Structure 1
Amino acid sequence: MKQYLQSGIVGFSLTVVALLMPVNGIAQSIGSDKNTLPDIGVVASEALTVDKEMLIGDAIMRQMRGQAPIIDDPILSEYIQDLGNRLVLQAENTKFPFEFFVINNSAMNAFAFYGGHVGVHSGIITSADSESELASVLAHEVTHVTQRHLARRALSQQRSSPLQIASMLGSILLAAANPEAGMAALQTSSAISQQMTIDYTRSNEQEADRIGIDILYNAGFDPRAAATFFGKMAEEYRLRSRPPERLLTHPLTEKRIADARSRMARYPEVRLPPSLTFHLAKARLLARYQFDPDYALEHYMAVNEQGNYLVKEAARYGLAIALLANDKAAQAQEINNELLKRDPNNLFYIDLATDILIALNQPQTAVEMLEKEIFNKPRNSVVVLNLANTYLTMKQYSKTIELLRDYLLVKPHDQLAYSLLSEAYKSEKSYKGMHQSKAELLALYGAYPNAIDELQHAYNYTGDDHLEKQRIRARIQQLRDAEEKLRNF
Structure 2
Amino acid sequence: MNIAYKKTKVFISTALLAIALVGAGQSMAQQNKNQLPEIGTSAVSTLSLDKERIYGDAMMRQVRASMPLIQDPVLIEYINHLGNSLIRNAEGVNYQFDFFLINNKEINAFAFFGGHIGVHSGLLTMADNESELASVLAHEIAHVTQRHLARKLEAQTRTTPWTLAGMVTGVLLALVNPEAGMAALMSANAASAQASINYTRSNEKEADRVGMAILANSGFDPNGAPDFFKKMSAKYRYTSKPPAMLLTHPLPDSRITDSRNRAQAYPSRLLPVNLDFELAKARLRSRYSGEPKNNIKTFTAELRRQKYQIKEASEYALALAYFADKQYDAAEELLTELLDKHPNNLFFVDGLTDTYLEQKKYDKALTMLERLNLLMPNNQVVTLNYANSAIYAEKYALATNLLQDFLILNPGNFIAHDLLTEAYRKQDKPSQMHASQAEVYALLGLYPKAIDELHTAYNFASEKTLMKKRIKARIVQLQESENQLKRL
Moved more, 136-145 or 395-404: 395-404
Letter in 2 for 1:461: F
- Higher deviation after alignment, 286-295 or 403-412: 286-295
* Counterpart residue number, 1:23: none
Q: Distance in 1 between matches of 2:405 and 2:55?
A: 29
C-alpha displacement at 1:198, in angstroms?
7.2
Q: Which residue of 1 aligns with 2:468?
A: 469
Kept in 2: contact 1:236–1:244 (CA 8 A): no
- Find the counterpart in structure 1 of residue 329 from structure 2: 330
User: Are the counterparts in 1 of residues 282 and 314 from structure 2 also a CA contact under 8 Å?
Assistant: yes
Q: Which has the higher contact order (CA 8 A, sep 6+)?
A: 1
1:266 Cα deviation from its structure 2 partner: 1.5
Provide closer, same or farther for how the CA distance between residues 398 and 356 of structure 1 changes in structure 2, counting only shifts above 3 A: same
Q: Retained in 1: the 8 A contact 2:111–2:175?
A: no
RMSD between aligned alpha carbons?
3.2
Q: TM-score, normalised by structure 1?
A: 0.87
Distance 1:75 1:437, change over 3 A: same
Q: Please name the residue that 1:2 is paired with.
A: 2
Match of 1:379 in 2: 378
Residues 429, 173 of structure 1: alpha-carbon distance in 2 compared, 3 angstrom cutoff: farther
Counterpart of 2:143 in structure 1: which amino acid? H
The change in CA–CA distance for 1:468 and 1:56 in structure 2 (over 3 A counts) is same
CA contact (8 A) 1:304 1:316 kept: yes
Deviation at 1:360, TM superposition (A): 1.5
Residue 54 (structure 1) aligned with residue 50 (structure 2): no
| TM-score normalised to structure 2 length | 0.87
Residues 436-447 of structure 1: pairs in structure 2 closer than 5 A: 436-447=435-446
Take 1:382 and 1:256, find their aligned partners in 2: how far apart are those partners?
39
Shift of 1:177: 9.2
The corresponding residue for 1:265 is 264
Q: Aligned residue pairs: how many?
A: 458
Consecutive unaligned residues in structure 1, runs of 5 or more: 17-38
Residue 149 (structure 1) aligns with: 148
Cα separation, partners in 2 of 1:376 and 1:432, compared to 1, 3 Å: same
Mapping 1:309-324, distance limit 5 Å: 309-324=308-323
Q: Secondary structure at the match of 1:222?
A: coil
**Matched-pair contact (CA < 8 Å) for 1:75–1:347:** yes
Judge conservation of contact 1:276–1:314 (CA < 8 Å) in 2: yes
Which residue in the other structure is 1:358 paired with? Answer: 357
Measured in 1, the distance between the counterparts of 2:278 and 2:14 equals: 25
Q: Residue type of the partner of 2:315?
A: R
Q: Is the 8 A contact 2:166 2:188 kept in 1?
A: no
3-state SS of 1:384 partner: helix
2:368 aligns to what? Answer: 369
- Cα distance in 2 between the residues matched to 1:376 and 1:245: 41
1:410 paired to 2:417? no
Aligned to 2:132: 133
Q: Secondary structure at the match of 1:290?
A: coil
Measured in 2, the distance between the counterparts of 1:437 and 1:272 equals 45
> Partner amino acid for 1:342?
K
Q: Match of 1:480, as an amino acid?
A: Q
In structure 2, the CA distance between the partners of 1:177 and 1:288, relative to structure 1 (3 Å rule), is farther
CA–CA separation in structure 2 for the residues paired with 1:359 and 1:243: 42
Secondary structure at the aligned position of 2:409 is classed as coil
User: Does residue 277 of structure 1 match 2:256?
Assistant: no
**CA–CA distance in structure 2, aligned partners of residues 165 and 472 of structure 1:** 41
Partner of 1:176: 177
Conserved 8 A contact 2:174-2:248: no
Shift of 1:156: 2.2
In 1, Cα distance between the equivalents of 2:143 and 2:168?
Answer: 20
Task: Summarize the Cα distance change of 1:128–1:169 in structure 2 as closer, same or farther, 3 Å threshold.
Answer: same
Structure 2: tracts of 5 or more residues without a match: 19-37
Residue pairs, 1:56-71, within 5 angstroms: 56-71=55-70
Q: How many angstroms does 1:7 deviate by?
A: 7.7
- SS in structure 1 at match of 2:288: helix
User: What is the identity, as a one-letter code, of the residue corresponding to 1:65?
Assistant: R
2:204 is aligned to 205
Residue identity (%): 45
Q: Find the counterpart in structure 2 of residue 22 from structure 1.
A: none
User: In 2 relative to 1, CA 245–173 (structure 1 residues): closer, same or farther, beyond 3 Å?
Assistant: closer
Letter aligned with residue 258 of structure 1: T
In the alignment, the residues of structure 1 paired with residue 269 and residue 10 of structure 2 have an alpha-carbon distance, to the nearest angstrom, of: 40
Alignment check: 8 A CA contact 1:68 1:177 kept: no
Q: Shift of the alpha carbon at 1:217?
A: 0.3
Q: Which residue of 2 aligns with 1:428?
A: 427
Tell me how far 1:445 sits from its aligned partner. 0.9
Aligned equivalent of 2:76: 77
Instruction: Give, in whole Å, the separation in 1 of the partners of 2:8 and 2:196.
Output: 25
CA separation of 1:221/1:174 partners in 2, compared to 1, >3 Å: closer, same or farther? closer
Shift of 1:242: 1.1
> 1:157 Cα deviation (Å)?
3.0
- Give matches, 1:70-109, under 5 Å: 70-109=69-108
